A and B are shown apart, each in its own frame.
Chain A
Amino acid sequence: MNSSLSDPAFWSRFQFGFTLVYHYLFPQLTMGLAWFLVYWKWQALKTGDEKYNEAVRFWAKVFGINFAVGVVTGIPMEFQFGTNWAGFSRYAGGVIGQTLAMESMFAFFLESAFVGALIWGEKRLGQRYHFLAALGVALGSWLSGFFILVTNAFMQHPIGYRIESDGSLGIDNLRAYLLNPWALIQFAHNQSAALVTGSFVVTAVGALYTLRGLYRTQAALYLRAGTLVGLLASLLVAFPSGDQQAKMVARHQAITLAAMEGKFVGGTRAGVAAIGQPNVAARRLDNPIEVPGALSFLANGTFQSYVHGLDEYPADAWPDNIELLYYSFHLMITLGSIFILLMAYAVFQNWRGRLQSNTWLLWVLMLAFPLPYIANTVGWMTAELGRQPWLAYGLFRTTDGYSKVLSNGDTIFTVIGFVGLYFVLGVLFLYLVGRQIGRGPEEDASALDVGKDQELIDTPRQEHFV
């Protein structure tokens, strides 16, 4: 990354990266939490137990604040393809435009139609339709994830295209493009990771209430569902989806795999470095402690197999920030392993009936919720830094893709604007969600008497926003 002030490609990359990483803090919770809402609403319909409805009402409010920030920060993403990446849009818009457009038609319309009704419309919709609204929002958010991952998978592993007479790309086979094997594996990996975020947040709130001795029924519900889903999703992130993703990278982006692992020299029985710092100038990994053969096994399924090294490729084909890529990847792996151990222990404790009284474990669970956000972020940094120096892997370089008409000052100005605006949004988000969690799930259950006449529930209340 040529991080000089005068490099226009850097600033367009920085802006896209920043707005995207920030945006994705919100949809990962949306996509994870949506299925908790569907599950609890379904349980409420099936058992008639009001505690499930209380859980839905409480989490729908948290969901709503989160969703709103996700929506407003998501709109700039699509438009930046044109504003900052005009070169790339001209080149590949004929292909990736398909999924960008489909995302609006199939996912955004679905989500946006039902989300308001999910959060505030329980009495207007009735119980069955309220369940359908939850399902619609969950499906919409996952469809949106699918179309974006197909778009990203095309950049990682382009298929289904043809090269037109003017040198740009056009769609050739929509089915091949949509069913890109890279996209399917990435979808499984990414959606499991979103479920990890959702379950850690649900668990953390359950732990918080338990430690404070509040809302015992609700807290137990959150802890049980959160830890169970958390364990399952953490396992799915690693295997099979993470494993398959690594094999995919080994097969199609051998240089990237070498850079992720700091493998400057290729060889058989290649190891995974548990510890070590890549030294790009000297082209070696400093102070390594390696697990021999592990990388060969992960990449190709046998300990003996050959793994390519960076020295086999010209330096201008290397990812342009190998250190950041290496650390992002290793941090993701480390956090992923911690998630499995932590959630397995929590599920075991809960099964033995000891979780509620295990104060230190509750503290850990309460404070662990930022970790999946970090893991998701460094996971995406691994994917996107690993794709460099290409925008469409092997076809189109990042340095050709940015908008040549922009002056550097324009982009720096808008970067600063986005940083400032998003800082305000972040403060606002934390304040409102913190306030919602502080008020708890049982605040005004009486005001939400379902099925009563509109006029009857119209009693003055301290807060009319429910």
Chain B
Amino acid sequence: MIAIWYAVVSFMLIAYVILDGRNFGAGMLHWFVARTPEERRQVIAAMGPLWSWHEVWLVGFGGALVAVFPRLMASAFSGYYLALILILWCLILRGVSIEVGGHINDRLWQGFWDFVFVFANFLLAILFGAAAGNIARGVPLDAQGNFSMPFFTDFGVHGNVGLLDWYTVSVAVFAVGILAAHGATYLALKTEGPVHDRSAAYAKYLWVAVVPLFVLISVESFFVRPDVPGRAVHNPVCWIGLLVTLISVAMLISGFSTRREMRAFLASNFLIVGLLATGGASIFPVMLHSTLTPENSLSAYAIAANHTALVVASIWWPIGFALAIAYFIFISRRYAGKVSVKRDNQGFY
């Protein structure tokens, strides 16, 4: 039961990464793929009416974490205090820039909100990337399961670590790269005209750039957490995740070479799912690793809520999930098709 809920919580976070990740990517590339005010509105419209539905996955992840692993939520959120509050501020700014940017058809107004939009998305990709790095590396948890970290210490990865060190920074750079590639792949699928052409070109370069970054953080991860691979090889989910990743790479290459944009975009999603699933499964059951001493690490089995909580949540969660997907399909079908520079083409923004 606890393993299932570990999977559900991970699933919600992964869903958030692929759904909002494409918005981060589109946001980071906003200035590069869209040059005129009309094209910039087109990028925003391509994010569609469902951007806040994407963000709900993060809120849902937070909620599920309190319900099922309350002690992890308490330790991690208070320990990452300033970084997490920064993420919240960026999410506020990003949301506002999407919502109000189109309200006034004025160059200065839209230029300002475009800047906020790009800036917030960049920072979000970096912060979430660094957060992923922190989860992989571990944090200085004490015997009570508490920690508090400065932004950086000596940039080392053992003992009293900070939020940023050479490892988490490289994961953040990798996150920026792969989310930008993901966003470009999405824009290539969802837009037409010059934005489409530029996005498609950027997507190819970015995916190529992601490869050395991936090799780099893979090698680094072996040095930072030498204890993980030994356990991971016995976990079938890791092998399935790797398989998904490999198939996605093949799909991605075939999608781009045959100009099948839907195939490329699906591959991009599955690629991220595969990577994150492999990572998530390989650290299981430790949800938060202690860099001070392994005994302080928070294991899913030690910190889960009681059995009743897991059982009742297992009853209502699938119902909520099915409803959420039904709404998504309904709205997505209404907004299917490419977004052009022509105004109101999507009836949105």
Mark A197-225 against chain B: 1 for CB-CB distance below 8 A, else 0.
Answer: 00000000000000000000000000000
Contact call B49/A121, Cβ cutoff below 8 A: yes
Contact call B349/A93, Cβ cutoff below 8 A: no
- Chain B residues within an 8 Å CB radius of A82: 62, 65-66, 73-74, 76-78, 84
Question: How far apart sit A112 and B80, CA to CA, in the bound complex (Å)?
Answer: 28
With A172-B308, A458-B345 as contacts: A405 and B60 at CB distance below 8 Å: no
Mark A98-123 against chain B: 1 for CB-CB distance below 8 A, else 0.
Answer: 10111111101110111111001111
**Interface stretch of the complex, out of A66-74, A226-234, A373-381:** A66-74
- A351 at the A/B interface (Cβ < 8 Å)? no
Question: How far apart sit A125 and B96, CA to CA, in the bound complex (Å)?
Answer: 25
With A72-B96, A83-B85, A421-B89 as contacts: A458 and B312 at CB distance below 8 Å: no
Nearest-CB distance from A355 to chain B (Å)? 33
Contact call A78/B92, Cβ cutoff below 8 A: no
- B245 at the A/B interface (Cβ < 8 Å)? no
- Chain A residues within an 8 Å CB radius of B317: 101, 105
- Chain B residues within an 8 Å CB radius of A69: 96
Question: How far apart sit A198 and B282, CA to CA, in the bound complex (Å)?
Answer: 51
Contact call A109/B324, Cβ cutoff below 8 A: yes
Nearest-CB distance from A407 to chain B (Å)? 8
- Chain B residues within an 8 Å CB radius of A171: 305-306, 308-309, 312
- Chain A residues within an 8 Å CB radius of B103: 65, 432, 435, 465
- B297 at the A/B interface (Cβ < 8 Å)? no
Question: How far apart sit A223 and B102, CA to CA, in the bound complex (Å)?
Answer: 31
Closest A residue to B80 by beta carbon equals A83
Contact call B96/A93, Cβ cutoff below 8 A: no
- A404 at the A/B interface (Cβ < 8 Å)? yes
Contact call B49/A116, Cβ cutoff below 8 A: yes
With A75-B88, A84-B78 as contacts: A405 and B49 at CB distance below 8 Å: no
- A272 at the A/B interface (Cβ < 8 Å)? no
A window 113-171: CB within 8 A of B: 113-117, 120-125, 129, 136, 162, 164, 168, 170-171
- Chain A residues within an 8 Å CB radius of B60: 101, 104-105, 108-109
B window 76-108: CB within 8 A of A: 76-82, 84-85, 88-89, 91-93, 95-96, 99-100, 102-105
- Chain B residues within an 8 Å CB radius of A84: 78
With A71-B95, A121-B49, A123-B347 as contacts: A83 and B78 at CB distance below 8 Å: yes
- Chain B residues within an 8 Å CB radius of A32: none
Contact call A86/B347, Cβ cutoff below 8 A: no
Contact call B308/A113, Cβ cutoff below 8 A: no
With A109-B327, A113-B328, A421-B92 as contacts: A81 and B66 at CB distance below 8 Å: yes
Selected contact of B92 from candidates A83, A120, A425, CB within 8 Å: A425
Nearest-CB distance from B127 to chain A (Å)? 13
**Interface stretch of the complex, out of B50-58, B157-165, B187-195, B232-240:** B50-58
Contact call B49/A120, Cβ cutoff below 8 A: yes
- Chain B residues within an 8 Å CB radius of A457: 344
Question: How far apart sit A103 and B324, CA to CA, in the bound complex (Å)?
Answer: 12
Question: How far apart sit A84 and B345, CA to CA, in the bound complex (Å)?
Answer: 44
- B71 at the A/B interface (Cβ < 8 Å)? yes
- Chain B residues within an 8 Å CB radius of A72: 91-92, 95-96
- Chain A residues within an 8 Å CB radius of B346: 124
Contact call A454/B345, Cβ cutoff below 8 A: yes
Contact call A65/B55, Cβ cutoff below 8 A: no
- A464 at the A/B interface (Cβ < 8 Å)? yes
- Chain B residues within an 8 Å CB radius of A115: 49, 52
Contact call B305/A105, Cβ cutoff below 8 A: no
Contact call B306/A106, Cβ cutoff below 8 A: no
- Chain A residues within an 8 Å CB radius of B349: 120, 464-465
With A79-B62, A112-B56, A113-B328 as contacts: A174 and B312 at CB distance below 8 Å: yes
Selected contact of A112 from candidates B50, B63, B64, B312, CB within 8 Å: B50
B window 171-186: CB within 8 A of A: none
Closest A residue to B60 by beta carbon equals A104
Category for how many chain B residues contact A: 35 or more
With A89-B74, A105-B321, A171-B309 as contacts: A458 and B66 at CB distance below 8 Å: no
Per DSSP, chain B at the interface is helix
- Chain A residues within an 8 Å CB radius of B88: 75-76, 79
- Chain A residues within an 8 Å CB radius of B250: none
- A96 at the A/B interface (Cβ < 8 Å)? yes
Contact call B105/A417, Cβ cutoff below 8 A: no
Question: How far apart sit A327 and B212, CA to CA, in the bound complex (Å)?
Answer: 64
Selected contact of A97 from candidates B66, B92, B102, B327, CB within 8 Å: B66
Contact call A406/B64, Cβ cutoff below 8 A: no
Mark A428-446 against chain B: 1 for CB-CB distance below 8 A, else 0.
Answer: 1000100100000000000
Closest A residue to B347 by beta carbon equals A124
Question: How far apart sit A378 and B59, CA to CA, in the bound complex (Å)?
Answer: 28
- A312 at the A/B interface (Cβ < 8 Å)? no
Closest A residue to B105 by beta carbon equals A463
Nearest-CB distance from B291 to chain A (Å)? 16
Contact call B71/A93, Cβ cutoff below 8 A: yes
- Chain A residues within an 8 Å CB radius of B321: 105
- Chain B residues within an 8 Å CB radius of A98: 67, 309, 312-313
Contact call B331/A417, Cβ cutoff below 8 A: no
Contact call A109/B53, Cβ cutoff below 8 A: yes
Selected contact of A117 from candidates B64, B73, B331, CB within 8 Å: B331
Contact call B66/A100, Cβ cutoff below 8 A: yes
- A462 at the A/B interface (Cβ < 8 Å)? yes
- A87 at the A/B interface (Cβ < 8 Å)? yes
- A403 at the A/B interface (Cβ < 8 Å)? yes
Nearest-CB distance from A451 to chain B (Å)? 13
With A102-B320, A454-B345 as contacts: A97 and B63 at CB distance below 8 Å: yes
Contact call A124/B55, Cβ cutoff below 8 A: no
Contact call A94/B78, Cβ cutoff below 8 A: no
- Chain B residues within an 8 Å CB radius of A75: 55, 58-59, 88, 91-92
Nearest first, the 3 A-B pairs at minimum CB distance are A93-B70, A116-B49, A82-B77
A residues near B, CB below 8 A?
64-65, 68-69, 71-73, 75-76, 78-79, 81-84, 86-87, 89-90, 92-98, 100-106, 108-110, 112-117, 120-125, 129, 136, 162, 164, 168, 170-172, 174, 403-407, 410, 413-414, 417, 421, 425, 428, 432, 435, 454, 457-458, 460-466
Beyond A75-B92, A417-B89, list 14 extra A-B contacts (CB 8 Å). A81-B77, A82-B78, A83-B80, A84-B78, A93-B71, A96-B66, A103-B63, A104-B56, A113-B53, A121-B348, A421-B92, A458-B344, A464-B344, A465-B102
Offer 10 A-B interface pairs, CB within 8 angstroms, sorted by A: A71-B52, A72-B96, A75-B88, A89-B70, A93-B73, A94-B309, A101-B60, A112-B50, A120-B347, A403-B74
